[in-house]
Amino acid sequence: MQFNRRAFLKSSALAGVAVGLPVLNTAFFVNPAHAAEGKVLNFMSAENLTGNWDPSSHTTLAQINLESFVFSYLTRAPMRPDKPDELVMELATDMKLVDEHTLEFTLREGVTFHDGKPFTAEDVKATFEYASQPDRPAAWYPGPCEVEVVSDHVARIKTDKGGYPASLFWFLSAFLPILSAKDVADPKTLSSRPNGTGAFKFARQDGNTTVLEAFDGFYLGKPAIPGINFSFVGDATTRTLALLNGEADLIERLEAEQVQTIEETGGYKLNKAVSVENKYLWFRCSKPPFNDPRLRKAAAHAIDRAVLLDILGVSGHASKAWISPVKFGYVDTPNYPEYNPEESQRLLAEAGFPKGEGLPELEYITSVGFYPKTKEYGEVITAMLQEQGFPVKLNVMEVAAWNERLYDRPGGGPGHMIDCGWSTGSPEPDLVLRTHFHSSSKRICGIDDKDLDAVLDKERNTLDPAERKAVIQNEVMPMLADKVPALSLFTSVFIHAMREGLDGMYFYPNGMMDANKATLA
């Protein structure tokens, strides 16, 4: 009988899933007496929060999701696959490029912060000038900027001193929560209590649950749902059981077998969407042995991504680029590193490690409970790399411990490879490309490459959108395929499950949610 490597790896991974899952008696868990009209929405998050409420202090997706309830944004980006560059006005009512270095926003009137302070252009000025400082950990901004307050409700973002086009804030306007100038002036207040203009305001922290209350003064009218309990539950099966027994109204990050259970049970709804998040195998480029691009490329050619998609099922979507298909500039990159054992062996030998001989033990770090199937496909990637001679050891960690080890640091980040997604609520590609692959940021992989810097600078400084897209597709992506600071494994499909009584929720493709018009019956 012929040995089918793909079938073996897939069946081994799925067998591990089956062994680890309890058999669910859904008739026992489903609670027929769901809560009455007017109850708060219980949402279970797959990731922990940071404890610092300054939006510029972190890149944690769970906290970005929570901020979408509390804060408002100048615009919002639905990021539908057929219209990835569409923007919808929110705190802004109009935006226009005045010149190369000036982007003007006309602001909505009659908006107030949760503390009662009116929203004006001074708040836009404070937010942009503070969060664009190069020492801010979030690093969403392309560089420092200044804001001219034309009037109470007209603000101009100016980038001439930063040396980059103001047009880069066009898409970013959908991802930057607007802070109160009063809070920005007091860092202690800013970090200790979120104060936005969104539909829900912060009430208190109860252990792992952040309690939000509907904001009476919300400019679109007080929400019908009186509040949201935003709780961290790090295990996907536990979140599913909580939905089935009535403890949760809404959960995220489901896996294929949990989706099947919910579909077969009845009384629940699912929301599935190709997301803005790609999942990556990040190489620690700032230390040996993956400071050599030949070894990174050899590892990339050792991985059969089609097997990973078989394991993920409904949770994964094929991708051949370093940004999601709902990002501006996506393209199926022609020279994307595909599974090719012969090329992997050639590159290993060229780098001085024939068949992997002489390589040190390589630590591959992943999380469990947050992203679907990380342990299962991590074991398969480990086996594929070992098959080509890479001496890889998989280290599976709970979410908080993995989060602590995620980022690059002096001397290189922990381990040699780490699994992580990157999800941002804007079509702007530089939120991925420049954040991770330019030497001024290099958040996870730690790469410092002059050729990459040059092509990323060219892309950033190209004013015409069509020309900028061409640079991304024809220059940036092919160079990333050659340098491989990270391998994009697939695009995540975000899956939310909720009980049928929850209506009117809107889910953005980065996991952010809008409950302004939601009802819970």
Scanning the structure block, which residue is given the tokens 């950033």? 460
Which pLDDT does position 82 carry in this prediction? 81
| pLDDT tens profile 381-404 | 999 999 999 999 999 999 999 999
Give pLDDT, residue 472: 98
481, 336 contact by CB (below 8 A): yes
Q: Is pLDDT above 90 for 46?
A: yes
Mean pLDDT to the nearest integer, 411-425: 95
Cβ(406)–Cβ(59) below 8 Å = no
Specify the pLDDT at position 7: 52
Q: Quick one: pLDDT at residue 265?
A: 93
Is residue 256 over pLDDT 60?
Answer: yes
pLDDT of residue 6: 52
Better pLDDT: 298 or 15: 298
End-to-end CA separation in angstroms for the chain:
57
- 3-state secondary structure at position 392: strand
Is the separation of the CB atoms in 304 and 245 below 8 Å? no
Dihedral sign computed on CA atoms, order 303, 306, 307, 311: positive
Give the number of other Cβ atoms within 10 Å of residue 99's Cβ.
Answer: 11
Q: Looking at residue 38, what is its pLDDT?
A: 65
Give CA 232 to chain center in angstroms: 17
**Would you say residue 21 has pLDDT above 50?**
no
Mutual angle of helices 236-244 and 256-265, in 10-degree steps: 10
Q: What is the mean pLDDT of residues 80-102?
A: 92
Bridge partners (DSSP) of residue 389 are none
What would the 3-class secondary structure string for 144-194 be?
A: CCEEEEEECCEEEEECCCCCCCHHHHHHHCCCCCCCCHHHHCCHHHHHHCC
Summarised one tens digit per residue, pLDDT across range 460-476 is 999 898 999 999 999 99
Phi, psi of 411 (to 5 degrees): 85, -5
The answer, yes or no, to whether residue 40 has pLDDT greater than 70, is yes
Amino acid 9: pLDDT: 54
Residue 127: name the closest of 145, 142, 115 by CA: 145
Four-point Cα dihedral 42, 44, 47, 49, nearest 10: 20
CB under 8 Å, gap of 24 or more: what pairs does 186-193 form? 187/54, 190/53, 190/54, 191/52, 191/53, 191/54, 191/57, 192/53, 193/53
pLDDT of residue 138: 87
How sure is the predictor about 20, in pLDDT bands with cuts at 50, 70 and 90? very low
* Ranges 16-20, 94-98, 442-446: which has the least confidence: 16-20
* pLDDT number for residue 22: 34
Give how far Cα 487 sits from Cα of 276, 291, 295, 359, 381, Å: 16, 15, 12, 20, 12
Torsion of CA 148, 151, 152, 156, to 10 degrees: -30
Percent of all residues in the chain with a pLDDT value above 70, rounded to a whole number: 93
Q: Which of 240, 211, 200, 242 is nearest to 34 (CA)?
A: 242
Mean pLDDT of 244-265: 93
> For residue 13, what pLDDT is reported?
52
Query: Poorest-confidence range of 10-14, 179-183, 268-272, 298-302?
Result: 10-14
What pTM was computed for the model?
0.82
Please, are residues 397 and 366 in contact by the beta-carbon 8 Å criterion? yes
Half-sphere exposure of 454 (CA within 13 A, CB side): 5
d(CA 388, CA 298): 9
pLDDT recorded at residue 255: 86
Give the model's pLDDT for residue 383. 98
User: Is the pLDDT score of 97 beyond 50?
Assistant: yes
Q: Indicate the average pLDDT of the chain.
A: 91
Q: Two tokens at 374?
A: 């990380």
Per-residue pLDDT tens over the stretch 433-458:
999 999 998 899 999 999 999 999 99
